[in-house]
């Protein structure tokens, strides 16, 4: 394919651009190529940075659609008492909604590169989790839900901005991977033990605070993976990772606030 310079009309013999005109043209070409005019992190070329920015925008577009669907379904569950009662009172349905997302992750991972199967499974995956979030919100005071939502939004926005700033400065967060994986294992085991040995309100609040710290770390870690490590065809899996981080952060904060309210 011909380059941009090759596609331009030929200038008359002896024609030369004025220096200031040449600088303007070069500046416009840089802006067009790099998007923001700045690279995402040190060592990446401007052309690669422009492609990476496109990938980042695509992932955040998918993530925004997931969060909007979750918000809509949660609002419907909260405002529709019959739906909330059906989801809350049916132990079998609650179990299906809890297990089905894990099952759907198998075909979602398998078809993540195949359109439109990837978006179909992503929609089903998001819908199942959205109903679970809706039930949790419906059985909690509206004030606490709003506080958890505001805190989650603030934490996500701050950590995302910091991750992009830190990457631009050359900072690395890859060392967080093993630490966060170990912490997540402890959280899962503790949650399982709570089924047989329920914790008190204070312990639940502390557990929620620990969970919030862990998933805040995951947001930072997965955002760096989005910026540096994910390949361009992993946009589905990248959005799933950030989506789960945000939902778990919200639930951890919600449980912490709810336990503190109960203790008071």
Q: Which residue has the higher pLDDT, 22 or 218?
A: 218
pLDDT at 37 (0 to 100): 53
Can you tell me the distance from the alpha carbon of 24 to that of 35, in angstroms, rounded to the nearest whole number? 16
What pLDDT does residue 11 have? 41
pLDDT of residue 264: 55
Return mean pLDDT, the chain.
Answer: 82
Positive or negative torsion for Cα 95, 208, 184, 251: positive
- When mean pLDDT is compared across 39-53, 154-168, 230-244, the lowest value belongs to 39-53
What pLDDT digit, counting tens, does each position of 60-70 carry? 999 999 999 99
Q: Which of 64, 58, 68, 69 is nearest to 234 (CA)?
A: 58
Which pLDDT score is estimated for 6? 44
Residue 54: what pLDDT? 92
Among 129-133, 217-221, 247-251, name the one with the lowest average pLDDT.
129-133
- Neighbouring residues of 148: CB distance < 8 A, sequence distance ≥ 6: 250, 253, 254, 257
* DSSP type of residue 1: -
Q: Are 219 and 246 in contact (CB under 8 A)?
A: yes
- How far CA 200 is from CA of 80, 194, 206, in Å, comes to 31, 10, 10
Lowest-pLDDT range, 49-58, 100-109, 200-209?
200-209
According to DSSP, residue 139 is labeled T
How confident is the model over 37-59, as pLDDT tens digits? 578 888 888 888 889 999 999 99
Q: What pTM value is reported for the model?
A: 0.81
Phi, psi (rounded to 5 degrees) for 77? -65, -40
| 3-state percent helix, strand, coil for the chain, nearest multiple of 5 | 80, 0, 20
Residue 28 clears pLDDT 60, i.e. is over it: no
| 60-97: pLDDT as tens digits | 999 999 999 999 998 898 888 888 777 777 777 878 88
In contact, 125 and 105? CB cutoff 8 Å = yes
**Tokens representing 192?**
């399982």
Q: What is the average per-residue pLDDT within 157-177?
A: 91
Task: Calculate mean pLDDT across residues 120-149.
Answer: 90
Listed in sequence order, the residues at least 6 apart from 118 whose beta carbon sits closer than 8 Å to its beta carbon are 108, 111, 112, 236
Task: Using the predicted structure, report yes or no on whether residue 32 has a pLDDT greater than 80.
Answer: no
Phi then psi for residue 249, to 5 deg, are -65, -45
Do residues 262 and 205 make contact, with C-beta atoms less than 8 angstroms apart? no
- Residue percentage of the chain with pLDDT more than 90: 41
Q: What is the pLDDT of residue 14?
A: 44
């Amino acid at each position: 394919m011909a380059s941009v310079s090759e596609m331009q009309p030929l200038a008359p013999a002896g024609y030369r651009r004025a220096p200031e005109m040449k600088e303007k043209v070069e500046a416009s070409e840089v802006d067009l190529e790099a998007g923001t005019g700045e690279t995402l992190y040190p060592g990446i070329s401007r052309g690669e940075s422009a492609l990476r920015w496109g990938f980042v925008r695509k992932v955040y577009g998918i993530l925004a659609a997931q969060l909007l669907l979750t918000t809509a379904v949660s609002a419907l569950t909260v405002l529709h008492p019959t739906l909330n009662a059906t989801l809350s009172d049916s132990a079998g349905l609650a179990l299906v909604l809890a297990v089905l997302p894990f099952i759907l992750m198998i075909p979602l991972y398998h078809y993540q590169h195949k359109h439109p199967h990837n978006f179909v499974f992503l929609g089903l995956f998001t819908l199942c989790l959205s109903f679970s979030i809706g039930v949790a919100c419906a059985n909690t005071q509206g004030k606490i839900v709003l506080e958890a939502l505001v805190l989650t939004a603030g934490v996500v926005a701050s950590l995302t901005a910091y991750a992009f700033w830190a990457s631009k400065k050359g900072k690395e967060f890859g060392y967080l991977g093993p630490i966060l994986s170990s912490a997540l294992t402890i959280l899962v085991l503790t949650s399982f033990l709570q089924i047989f040995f329920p914790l008190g309100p204070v312990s639940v609040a502390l557990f929620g605070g620990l969970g919030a710290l862990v998933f805040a770390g995951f947001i930072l870690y997965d955002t760096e993976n989005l910026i540096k490590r994910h390949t361009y065809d992993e946009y589905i899996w990248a959005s799933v990772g950030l989506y789960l981080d945000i939902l778990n952060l919200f639930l951890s904060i919600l449980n912490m606030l709810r336990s503190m309210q109960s203790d008071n």
